[in-house]
Chains A and B, each alone.
Chain A
Amino acid sequence: METAIALFGDYTLRTVAAGAILLGVTSGALGSFAVLRKQSLLGDTLSHAALPGIALGFLIAGGRSLSAVLAGALATGILAALTMLLLVRRSRLKTDASLGVALSVYFAAGVVLLSFVQGRAGAGQAGLETFLFGQAAAILRSDLWIMGAVTVVSIALVAATWKELKAATFDPLFAASLGLPIVALDAIMTAMIALAVVLGLQMVGVVLMSAMIVAPAVAARQWTERLSTMVILASTFGAVGGVVGALISATGRGLATGPLIVLSLSVITAISLAFAPNRGLIAAAIRRARSGRALRARQVLATMDRLASEHGHPDYATEQGMLDTYFGMSTAGLLRHLDQRGWVRRVEHRPEEGVHWVLTETGSEEASRLPGDEGRDDEGQNEGVNGGRR
């Protein structure tokens, strides 16, 4: 704790942490919409497509001027997004394939340009390769103002067009029939994500930037069924991941900040995927186990009912050993489950030593309903992990 406080006194760390928070808030909020629109790859394409722009900016400005480099990154990023949109509209390629095509073409061009720049005499010191994986320590106090401005603008934009974005994201066809300008909304959203990506390049780098867009949104989606909560949570996760990554990288020499931020976000995402109450993997496994046990318990109930009718009286005491033999497993747990529901009752049956059970009145009623009861109708049943909640 003390080291953490001491670390916060560090000027560079404070700048890096502040930048990481701003970046996390922006990319979390915008990323929520990208993920819900099934455009998770958009961030990846935009960031990879920034690489040729970085190299071009360097060539045109004749040096490592940050504004020239970022302007170049934004330009080629947006160009790639337009390429993608054009492919979707004019060709038979779907969004995912179009994003993949744009990503690889622009990134390949970027790598070629980068090697060209670095091969030139005197440009060896350009250090453009830091944009591949980011170099958080290079962030200046003055950069924070730009990052802050982008954060404020993007949050304000999301707030101002909230209902339009929501409708266009959920059902673009219907939104268009209402007269909402979905193409313009799409363009604004893409431009904002491109801006956020460009801002993140210095910190996280071209290769990992898409994680900043996708991971917080995916993690947030696990915990909530409300869009507003999801966006706020994603921003929070983005900020927390950013700060944690920055702090960890400050504890040792040579620990790259960007990848650590992405790793922190990945931990948050992994925890969310596993432990979220309704959508989490563990919750789903528990639900499956419970319904499996309920099904087996019903089979036990049906067996007891059949034994009772074969023996000709409803109070027939079934010995537990018989059931164990019949099912080839211990039925003690299942019988306890049935006992808790009041469907079976434990009885003595001298001179036999073993545990005996009889059906209660509600138990035999339940057993008589069994065949129809197992055949659930399709109301309320849905494919998917969270559809089967009862």
Chain B
Amino acid sequence: MIQNVFSGSKRYWAILAAWAVLVAVGAAAYSVQFTDGLTVTGMSRDVSWGLYIAQFTFMVGIAASAVMVVLPYYLHDYKAFGRTVILGEFLAVSAVLVCMLFIFVDMGQPRRIVNVFLHPRPSSPMFWDSVVLFGYLILNLVIATVTIEAERQEAPPPRWVRPLIYLSIPWAVSIHTVTAFLYAGLGARPFWMTAILAPRFLASAFASGPSLLILLALIVRRFGGFDVGHKAVRTLATIVTYAMVINVFFVLVELFTALYSAIPHDVDTFAYLFTGLEGHSALTAWTWVGDGLAVVCTVLLVVPAVRRQERFLVPLCAGVIMALWIEKGLALVVAGFIPSPLGMVTEYAPTVPEVLITVGVYAVGGFVLTALYKVVLSVRGRLQSA
């Protein structure tokens, strides 16, 4: 099975080479950060988490969303997802890998990262997040490789993998719940300290993840000759629609609670996001673009005639990903630090090295995803031609 990774068309190698170049650029930028410290980033005393932790948060959602294909297929025997499941699982594997790398590049003392397991403190959500992410990576890697290997041998998957599949369903929910708890348990940060954060994370995950999966499935169909089927794409689009509606609803619920109660420390952060605070408005344009996109995409997705046409679905999925990336991969983490506990409004903007490292980490994900999807295409392609 693994041998499929090492043979392929020129296009396959070109894609891998392109990812590798980006990885190399990111690695070069990381070596600068490793030497000089996190001073090379835009983070500061007041905004002490930035792009890395925000990307981590966004990508946990992408990873968790595999459950949206696994659950219908395995629990409800929804046959239309037969060809999508493996794409979802391998997407989850790459996404978790990216999450772990984002945590790693954010560490001030990366060489000590094993301390999380050598000296674990169970009261820390970060410890539990490491545990569930590792578990999720292993679960998906085992499940996906075992099922594709069985398929290659044209045999049914071994029985022992079934309980693992069932376990992976609540496990997917757990990774994003624990990630939300990382934020929601902090009395110091009123913007994050909301009981709806975990549900909100899950809703946005189940919109952004399947959106990405639709785009990937269409790319794979066009360039890899592997068709997941119209029905699968349609069902995924329906899942995206419901998740987006719920996500927009959750955001409105948050806004109501903060703005109607009008408690200053709850209002301040929303004021910073939507109007700017004390003359600082770096995220205002992003917020309006993100929320505008979210509303427009949701409204259009709700219309079946629009959603069912691929020429509309593709930009809508891209719009959903963009909107939720702004919401979770940018605004949510940074805005939580504004204003600071000492009432300061310090803004944050990533630096060039920080952006390059971020691109590099995503490129690792892209590289791994390309290789894993190549395995799927080779195995399935051989079966189809046989």
A binds B: no
Residues of A within 8 A of B (CB): none
